């Protein structure tokens, strides 16, 4: 029986495959290999375990502790990330975690305001979400008249133009702005004709407040609350591939871009 936030996903399948092939290889090496003559060939199962265990283990370690690929399915992070972007996520930026069970093994760092972060959705930890870190533990976050205030300080922003595109079959038309979150300067979208979604929050200890850069097209902490530290997955840092679904071809101008 899995714990509430442990699910049989690709990571669990990799871990199971590593355990099964590793045990199979170990049993053959310790029990059967010493009894075989020099001319005898190992059985098919032993050969399979011996061949695939190192490969599976390397993939598991790389994916769990170094870098993991993700695909952007929605327009909540436009214009920073677009539908069809394939990104890489730094898995050790916020500490090394046990695969599948998510326990923190080695604390290496903590999220900073402005990070683009992948996390497990608090209402359904089997799903991975990506948003921007807005509020850190203890922060007061206010969103009023489509303007962000953190601990009473207004985050500066200025209009840089207009944005128009199709995102997951929906037309997005909005003002594009440059927002400053401490040292992080990034682009956001604001729709002047959409109703204001004013709210004020205080971030609990051990939690984070997340928002999408497409401010009027994102369901985020304003709707479903805070992200607990246990749900952190990693920091998005690179677009390695992007597919333009409308033109049915790679979006070459996005490939190789860093994420900030």
CA dihedral sign, ordered 76, 81, 84, 89: negative
Residue with tokens 């090394």: 96
Cα-to-chain-centroid distance, residue 150:
24
> In the annotation, is 91 catalytic?
no
Do residues 88 and 237 lie in contact, with contact meaning Cβ atoms separated by under 8 Å?
yes
Catalytic residue among 64, 74, 131, 235: 131
CA distances to 47, 62, 154, 179 from 65, rounded to whole Å, are 28, 6, 37, 32
Return the beta strands (E) in the chain as ranges.
67-71, 85-90, 96-97, 104-106, 116-120, 128-135, 140-144, 147-150, 153-154, 157-167, 170-181, 184-190, 199-202, 207-211, 227-228, 232-244, 249-250
β-strand partners of 142: 149, 200
Catalytic residue among 64, 76, 218, 242: 76
> In the annotation, is 131 catalytic?
yes
**Rounded CA gap, 226 and 108, in Å?**
22
**Rounded CA gap, 92 and 4, in Å?**
24
Residue 188, C-beta contacts closer than 8 angstroms, at least 6 positions apart = 79, 157, 176, 177, 178, 179, 213, 214, 215
**Rounded CA gap, 180 and 142, in Å?**
15
List, by residue number, the catalytic residues.
76, 131
């Amino acid at each position: 029986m899995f714990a509430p936030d442990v699910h049989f996903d690709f990571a669990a399948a990799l871990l199971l495959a590593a355990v099964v092939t590793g045990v199979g290889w170990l049993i053959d090496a310790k029990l059967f290999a010493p009894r075989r003559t020099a001319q005898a060939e190992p059985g098919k199962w032993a050969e399979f375990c011996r061949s695939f265990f190192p490969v599976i283990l390397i993939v598991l370690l790389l994916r769990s502790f170094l870098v993991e690929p993700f695909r952007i399915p929605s327009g909540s992070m436009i214009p920073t990330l677009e539908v069809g972007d394939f990104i890489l996520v730094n898995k050790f930026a916020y500490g090394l975690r046990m695969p599948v069970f998510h326990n923190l093994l080695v604390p290496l760092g903590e999220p900073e305001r402005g990070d683009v972060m992948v996390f497990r959705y608090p209402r359904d930890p089997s799903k991975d979400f990506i948003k921007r870190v807005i509020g850190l533990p203890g922060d007061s976050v206010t969103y009023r008249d489509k303007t962000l205030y953190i601990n009473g300080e207004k985050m500066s922003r200025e209009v840089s133009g207009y944005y128009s595109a199709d995102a997951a079959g929906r037309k997005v038309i909005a003002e594009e702005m440059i927002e400053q979150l401490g040292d992080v300067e990034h682009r956001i979208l604001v729709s002047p004709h959409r109703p204001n979604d004013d709210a004020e929050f205080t971030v609990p200890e051990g939690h984070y407040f997340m928002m999408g850069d497409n401010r009027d097209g994102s369901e985020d902490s304003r709707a479903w609350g805070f992200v607990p530290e246990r749900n952190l997955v990693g920091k998005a840092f690179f677009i390695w591939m992007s597919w333009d679904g409308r033109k049915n071809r790679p979006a070459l101008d996005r490939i190789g871009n860093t994420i900030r």
